[in-house]
Chains A and B, each alone.
Chain A
Amino acid sequence: MFIHAFKSLRANPMRTLLVFGSLTVSVTAVFLINAIAHGIVSSYSTILRSDGDLIVTQAKISDTFFSDVDTALIPKIRKIPGVEKVTAMIVGASPVERLPIVAVYGLSPERMERYRLLRGHYPGPGEVMVGRSIAGRLPMPALSIGDRRFRIAGVFGSDTGFESGGVVLTLKDAGTLFHKKASMLFVDLDGRVPAEKVIAAVAALSPKIEVKSTESFVKNYHQFRIIETSADVISLIALLMGLISIASIMSVTMLERKYEFGILRALGYGRGVIVGRILLETLWIGVAAYLTALAAALGILWILRRLPALQGYVDGIITLPMAVEVGLAALGITVLGAILPAWKSSGIDPMELITRGSRA
């Protein structure tokens, strides 16, 4: 039966190619959208997780871009028992020279050291350091961010696309650019007081702030849920499109092949065997299409990561669970797209299949 499936596929190269093509395109799309969404979420999570046990943001804010936290809270938080260190960060985005949008990070001095300095020194007042991914595309001694000019102090590297494609400056300079004191505060704990107690104590300082453990912040961050949900919805649409094209190709071929099924039925083969034969044929294609799509997606992501215009921001990641999940989804649509028409056309009297099939 394995060999029969193979022969059938080879005998109908056009049909085989069409099913293979539509499946490959839809699975590649699913891989890309999920990989890119996962890349965005995991990059920003990495930045958020990099430092600090607690995150303090403005209360009732949906996006950290809009968060504004008063740095006057920092000395007060430092005095709370169990707190070891408090740092601040501003996250913004702005045109930089000819680049239309660049991530801009304003950091308190302690946070600077997290960035691997490749050249020069960490920025002081009126200075920036620029990420490796965009350094080559910026003019050298000085640049404009928005309407202000800064001297380039150095170049840094980072494994996170959002960082290596961005610029870093002092908290104060970033504050002037974005008209705020800080986007968020990171609180390190010394472990001597339970986190919940510290969270409560920090939260009590001001009604305008929200305090969460870093993990719970990342898990519940609304923007991540939006990205992930969008990716799920687009994946579903891509899969449905694949399913529809496979099912329609299959139902056209089922018409052509009715007499074949009629003969098999007349020879005493049950519906299950016929469905099984068709399934086996499409599974061959399914496996080939899945592997091709995986390779294509990895290739496209590799290119996107290196495309200068994208500044390294599109850093798609295909994880093993994702590969398994997409594999199962591809398997699902292959099976459905093949079984439905085969099942439908194998339920009639053999002679009707044979004569209708040959008349059609």
Chain B
Amino acid sequence: MIVAVDLVHFYGQERVIDGISLQIAPGEFVALTGESGSGKSTLLSILSTLLHPDSGHIFIDGQSMETLKDPNRFRREYIGFVFQFHYLIPYLNIRENVALAAPKRSGEEIMELLERLGIGAIAHKMADEVSGGQRQRAAIARAVANGPRILFADEPTGNLDSKNSEKVFDLFRKIADEGTTLVVATHDRRLAERADRIIEIKDGRLV
């Protein structure tokens, strides 16, 4: 359960998040939509603890994010994040990049995950040696490798063609059905329809 209360965030003078409160139930698949620049990425970063809001409160499963004792451990064990850009580490191959997110998993477990996402064959390639779709799947593999309770994704299909976008959303649907909470920012209404609920924002406020 994610509970956000009155979140506010500024970039310079710009009030990018302007008093957002929301709740997301465990296992829910939520799509965050809105025009470019409406604040989707910023909200996602704040909800996922990767960015401190200027004010407001976040509770995840009853735990206040302000009083979190070990945020690193929380991120390691609770959260997965698929960034808008793949952000794979360039000097590591795909398998090593994914393994970085789950140091406790064995090599076979990581390979199994890669196979499941259809990128087992490129496990030993570097990020710049594979296609955009494969990179994005590697980024998703990295995000789910630690078995997170909540998976955040920011425009995960932004750089993909429609066929690959469909595949990614199929995958998200499956992850959600397995009980993971999913919060996905996308400007693609058609894909957003496949979520349990759509939250739309405009100029940093809920619509």
Interface residues of A (CB under 8 A from B): 4, 7-8, 10-12, 259-260, 262-270, 349-352, 354, 358
Contacts and interface: CB of A to CB of B under 8 A. Distances in A.
Contact of B100 (A8, A10, A264, A351): A264
Contacts of B100: 264, 267
A259 B79 CA distance: 18
Given A349-B51, A351-B50, A358 B76 contact: no
A270 B90 CA distance: 20
B51 A11 contact: no
Interface in B62-107: 72-77, 79, 81, 83, 85, 87, 89-92, 96, 100-101
Given A259-B87, A267-B76, A350 B92 contact: no
Contacts of A352: 51
A4 B90 CA distance: 11
Interface of B: 45, 50-52, 72-77, 79, 81, 83, 85, 87, 89-92, 96, 100-101, 142, 146
Contacts of B146: 267-268
Contacts of B50: 265-266, 349-351, 354
Contacts of A266: 50, 75, 81
A350 B48 CA distance: 11
7 contacts: A12-B91, A262-B87, A266-B75, A268-B73, A268-B79, A269-B72, A354-B50
Contacts of A259: 87
B49 to A, nearest CB: 8
Given A351-B45, A351-B50, A354-B83, A268 B74 contact: yes
Contacts of B85: 358
Contact of B87 (A10, A12, A263, A268): A263
Given A267-B76, A269-B72, A349-B50, A11 B90 contact: yes
Nearest to B102: A267
Contacts, number: 56
B87 A11 contact: no
A298 to B, nearest CB: 34
A11 B91 contact: yes
Contacts of A350: 50-51, 75
A262 B45 CA distance: 12
Interface of A is mostly: helix
A35 B124 CA distance: 49
Contacts of B92: 4, 7
Contacts of A12: 91
Given A269-B72, A350-B50, A351-B51, A260 B89 contact: yes
B91 A268 contact: no
A282 to B, nearest CB: 15
Nearest to B139: A263
Nearest to A11: B91
A358 B84 CA distance: 12
Contacts of B45: 349, 351
Given A10-B91, A358-B85, A268 B77 contact: yes
A31 to B, nearest CB: 32
B198 to A, nearest CB: 23
Nearest to B51: A351
Contacts of B79: 268
4 tightest Cβ-Cβ pairs between the two chains A and B? A268-B76, A11-B91, A268-B75, A351-B50
A350 B87 CA distance: 13
A149 to B, nearest CB: 73
Nearest to B154: A351
Nearest to B71: A268
Nearest to A267: B101
Identify the interface centre among A4, A267, A269: most chain B CB within 10 Å of its CB.
A267
Contacts of B73: 268
Nearest to A350: B50
A46 B71 CA distance: 64
Nearest to B49: A350
A152 B85 CA distance: 84
Nearest to A270: B72
Contacts of A358: 85, 87
